[in-house]
């Protein structure tokens, strides 16, 4: 039997499994498995020979700039999304050309830490080999390349590998880039939490050799009858039912939005040492317009574990979701729906059984802050750290045409953000830390280097003294022109929209305050609008659903206020609501002023979302 015949035989036998995600490690409780015809993504994963598919063949096909439908899905696990420039799609159709296919790559970078050497390497690649020339900081605490054409894809992966980076498992039905609070002040606790973020990321990675075979020209490992069961001991032959997101967070900063993630480890410390984690399971923000079986959901607190049990618990949560998650309906395939379907206690008990660990009662903690501390802060290690506000995370040298086309303020025409970060990287002796709020921290700056770092940051427009706290409290996903799912503008829409919100705040004598504002171009949740005080979710060109009532701590889901509004109509509504907030809000005995999200609930403008499945749509 030839090698190819053996491989085909193995694929066929795997595909015949009744429980496609079952491995030899665990017995699957049949009652917990959703019955019915499985989604087509399950077929393509099983037939992919552990994520290889025919990607290598597609790379050599110069007739098209894109990938075949199955490989279009498979390259996601390799860290890429196939996209095209939607601004010119219609014109290309008129010219009888296919869309200008390219890929977006998202790097794997647990905790968002990158060295100056690595930064200079990605800066050079973005300049020379991407259509947009930018580096995009994302809400997943890493960077993205946009507009990489097929001839440069392999070079991109090899360039990353040359400086110790990769993009494995940053998209697709796997555990994605692991987030970690980038707090440089409490350096000892942060370092311990960051170390665990890296360990979790490595532990949950796909074991298949496909990534290094295809992109780094490693020798192919054949799939055989004897090795197929050991290739993916955690993720299984058909990987996870849907994407899975994990974070490590250090209170009091909820700067990674724990309730947006399937699994979060909340650091608990004692006497300056990390002793364990409270484990939160089942958060997620994505939904589908018009489908009330989908909804955003807060995570549930399963309890406390000692630090040594972290990997066992992470694996147990992932494998339970692997075996019990919905493989029939992808819209209900995330961990949040599994918990609501089987019951929180049932899921928790199964995790304890698989991990051989019992959860202890949760330890007390509190989130008092959420965003990033813009500007300089001093750490307990004597080093200094500068957090730069990067609007929408887009690091780019802006040209005159950019300002004309994108309606930037003329005062910002001196911004040369990409050049500025590169110049800092050339002299910086610490590291950079990307945040989940799309900002960049220049970390580990010695006292004698502060002045030079700040001078460069100001010279290239990376520091602007007149940036309002409203602007730093606002965030958007990418949306147009690159995201294929976008229904409305987000990144390009936000700057001008924030300016108008700033004007409303100023009119009401609230210029020194801010509302957490998030905009997403579709309901998939990348901009985390479902944890905002004011959330705009795109429905069509200049049409958004308006959600109100999240809170400052990021622990409450907002509720829909009005549907399908134009941006002008939204501003009219906010004008009226903010005016009421300024005159009707309460002030506590300690002088704390009622936040906007709390006010709209107390005033009865929207009702509080306490249990998403029950009252998000009521």
- Tens-digit pLDDT profile for residues 96-124: 889 889 999 999 999 999 999 999 999 99
Q: pLDDT, tens digit, for every residue of 569-608?
A: 999 999 999 999 999 999 999 989 999 999 999 999 999 9
Q: What is the arithmetic mean of pLDDT over 12-37?
A: 62
The token pair that represents 568 in the structure block: 């002008």
Share of the chain above pLDDT 70, in %: 93
Nearest CA among 126, 104, 155 for reference residue 418: 126
Q: What is the reported pLDDT for 381?
A: 83
22, pLDDT greater than 50? no
Q: What is the arithmetic mean of pLDDT over 295-300?
A: 97
Q: What is the reported pLDDT for 9?
A: 45
d(CA 277, CA 294): 29
403, pLDDT greater than 70? no
Which comes out higher in pLDDT, residue 171 or 225? 171
Burial of 353-385, coded b for 16+ CB within 10 Å and e otherwise, reads: ebbebebeebeeeebeebbbbbeebebeeebbb
Q: What is the reported pLDDT for 25?
A: 54
Q: What is the reported pLDDT for 406?
A: 43
Instruction: Provide the pairing of β-strand 474-476 with 517-520.
Output: parallel
Cβ atoms within 10 Å, residue 46:
21
Burial of 332-347, coded b for 16+ CB within 10 Å and e otherwise, reads: bbbbbbbbbbbeeebb
Torsion of CA 548, 549, 551, 554, to 10 degrees: -70
Backbone angles phi, psi at 36, to 5 degrees: 130, 175
Three-state SS for 366-417 is: CCCECCCCCEEEECCCCCEEEEECCHHHEECECCHHHHHHHCCCHHHCCCEH
Task: Give, for 82, the enclosing helix (H) or strand (E).
Answer: strand 80-84
Q: Are 260 and 284 in contact (CB under 8 A)?
A: yes
Q: In what order do the strands lie in the sheet with 534-540?
A: 474-476, 517-520, 534-540, 543-548, 559-565
Local structure of residue 284 (DSSP, 8 states)? B
Q: In what order do the strands lie in the sheet with 273-281?
A: 179-180, 246-249, 263-270, 273-281, 300-306
206, pLDDT greater than 60? yes
Annotation marks residue 477 as catalytic: yes
- Could you say which of 297, 415, 526, 552 is catalytic? 526
Nearest CA among 433, 437, 605, 603 for reference residue 531: 437
Annotation marks residue 458 as catalytic: no
11, pLDDT greater than 70? no
209, pLDDT greater than 70? yes
Annotation marks residue 507 as catalytic: no
Sign of the alpha-carbon dihedral angle for 450, 370, 432, 456: negative
Annotation marks residue 471 as catalytic: no
Q: pLDDT, tens digit, for every residue of 219-239?
A: 888 888 778 778 999 999 999
- Structural domains of the chain in order of their starting residue, each with its CATH number: 3-79+168-355 (3.30.413.10), 470-615 (3.30.413.10)
Torsion of CA 16, 22, 23, 27, to 10 degrees: -130
Q: pLDDT, tens digit, for every residue of 248-293?
A: 999 998 999 999 999 999 999 998 899 999 999 999 999 999 999 9
Q: In what order do the strands lie in the sheet with 375-378?
A: 113-114, 431-434, 440-445, 384-388, 375-378
The pTM of this model reads 0.93
- Could you say which of 477, 492, 528, 556 is catalytic? 477
Q: What is the reported pLDDT for 134?
A: 94
Q: What is the reported pLDDT for 16?
A: 39
Q: pLDDT, tens digit, for every residue of 433-465?
A: 999 999 999 999 999 999 999 999 999 999 999
Local structure of residue 219 (DSSP, 8 states)? P
- Could you say which of 45, 108, 242, 245 is catalytic? 245
195, pLDDT greater than 80? yes
Q: Are 487 and 536 in contact (CB under 8 A)?
A: no
Local structure of residue 332 (DSSP, 8 states)? G
d(CA 460, CA 306): 46
Sign of the alpha-carbon dihedral angle for 607, 610, 616, 617: negative
Peptide linkage before 43 cis (omega within 30 of 0): no
Q: pLDDT, tens digit, for every residue of 339-368?
A: 999 999 999 999 999 999 999 999 999 998
Annotation marks residue 526 as catalytic: yes
Which comes out higher in pLDDT, residue 126 or 85? 126
How confident is residue 409, by pLDDT bands cut at 50, 70 and 90?
very low
Q: pLDDT, tens digit, for every residue of 529-541?
A: 999 999 999 999 9
Sign of the alpha-carbon dihedral angle for 189, 192, 198, 203: negative
Annotation marks residue 522 as catalytic: yes
- Could you say which of 483, 492, 539, 552 is catalytic? 483
187, pLDDT greater than 80? no
514, pLDDT greater than 70? yes
d(CA 62, CA 42): 29
Q: What is the reported pLDDT for 371?
A: 87
20, pLDDT greater than 70? no
372, pLDDT greater than 50? yes
Q: What is the reported pLDDT for 414?
A: 58
3, pLDDT greater than 80? no
- Which position has the token pair 């022109």? 481
Q: What is the arithmetic mean of pLDDT over 77-96?
A: 92
Q: What is the reported pLDDT for 19?
A: 43
């Amino acid at each position: 039997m030839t090698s190819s015949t053996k491989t085909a035989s193995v694929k066929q036998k795997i595909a015949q499994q009744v429980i496609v995600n079952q491995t030899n490690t665990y017995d699957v409780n049949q009652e917990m498995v959703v019955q019915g015809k499985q989604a087509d993504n399950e077929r393509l994963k099983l037939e992919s020979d552990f994520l290889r598919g025919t990607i290598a063949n597609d790379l050599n096909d110069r007739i098209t700039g894109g990938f075949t439908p199955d490989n279009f899905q498979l390259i996601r696990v390799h860290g890429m999304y196939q996209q095209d420039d939607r601004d010119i799609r219609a014109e290309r159709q008129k010219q009888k050309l296919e869309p200008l296919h390219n890929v977006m790559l998202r790097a794997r970078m647990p905790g968002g830490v990158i060295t100056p050497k690595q930064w200079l390497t990605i800066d050079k690649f973005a300049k020379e080999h991407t259509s947009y020339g930018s580096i995009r900081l994302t809400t997943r605490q890493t960077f993205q390349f946009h507009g990489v054409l097929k001839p440069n894809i392999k070079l991109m992966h090899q360039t990353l590998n040359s400086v110790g980076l990769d993009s494995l498992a940053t998209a697709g039905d796997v555990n994605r880039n692991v987030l970690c609070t980038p707090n440089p002040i409490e350096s000892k606790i942060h370092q311990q939490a960051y170390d665990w973020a890296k360990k979790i990321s490595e532990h949950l990675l796909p074991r298949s050799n496909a990534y290094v075979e295809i992109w780094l020209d490693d020798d192919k490992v054949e799939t055989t009858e004897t090795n197929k069961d050991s290739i993916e001991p955690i993720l299984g032959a058909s990987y996870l039912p849907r994407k899975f997101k994990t974070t490590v967070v250090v209170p009091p900063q909820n700067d990674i939005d724990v309730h947006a993630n399937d699994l979060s480890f909340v650091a608990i410390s004692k006497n300056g040492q990390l002793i364990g984690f409270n484990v939160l399971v089942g958060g997620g923000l994505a939904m589908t317009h018009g489908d009330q079986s989908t909804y955003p959901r807060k995570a549930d607190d399963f309890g406390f574990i000692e630090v040594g049990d972290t990997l066992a618990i992470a694996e147990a949560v992932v494998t339970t979701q692997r075996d019990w998650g919905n493989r029939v309906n992808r819209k209900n395939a995330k961990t949040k729906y599994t918990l609501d379907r089987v019951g929180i206690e049932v899921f928790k008990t199964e995790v304890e059984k698989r991990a051989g660990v019992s959860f202890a009662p949760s330890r007390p903690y509190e989130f008092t802050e959420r965003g990033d501390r813009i500007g300089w802060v001093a750490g307990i290690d004597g080093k200094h750290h500068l957090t730069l506000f990067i609007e929408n995370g887009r690091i780019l040298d802006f040209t005159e045409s950019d300002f004309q086309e994108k309606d930037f303020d003329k005062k910002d025409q001196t911004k040369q953000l990409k050049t500025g970060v590169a110049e800092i990287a050339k002299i910086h002796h610490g590291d950079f830390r990307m945040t989940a709020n799309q900002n960049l921290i220049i970390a580990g700056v010695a006292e004698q280097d502060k002045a030079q770092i700040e001078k460069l940051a100001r010279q290239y427009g990376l520091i602007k003294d007149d940036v309002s706290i409203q602007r730093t409290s606002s965030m958007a996903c990418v949306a147009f022109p690159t995201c294929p799912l976008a229904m409305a503008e987000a990144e390009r829409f936000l700057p001008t929209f924030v300016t108008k919100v700033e004007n409303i705040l100023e009119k009401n004598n609230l210029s020194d305050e801010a509302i957490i504002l998030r905009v997403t171009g579709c309901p998939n949740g990348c901009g985390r609008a479902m944890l905002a005080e004011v959330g705009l979710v795109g429905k069509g060109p200049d049409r958004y659903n308006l959600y109100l009532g999240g809170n400052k701590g990021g622990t409450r889901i907002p509720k829909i206020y009005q549907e399908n509004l134009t941006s002008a109509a939204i501003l009219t509504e906010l004008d009226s609501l903010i005016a009421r907030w300024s005159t009707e809000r309460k002030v506590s005995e300690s002088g704390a002023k009622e936040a906007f999200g709390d006010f709209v609930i107390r005033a009865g403008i929207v009702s509080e979302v306490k249990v998403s499945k029950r009252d998000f749509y009521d």
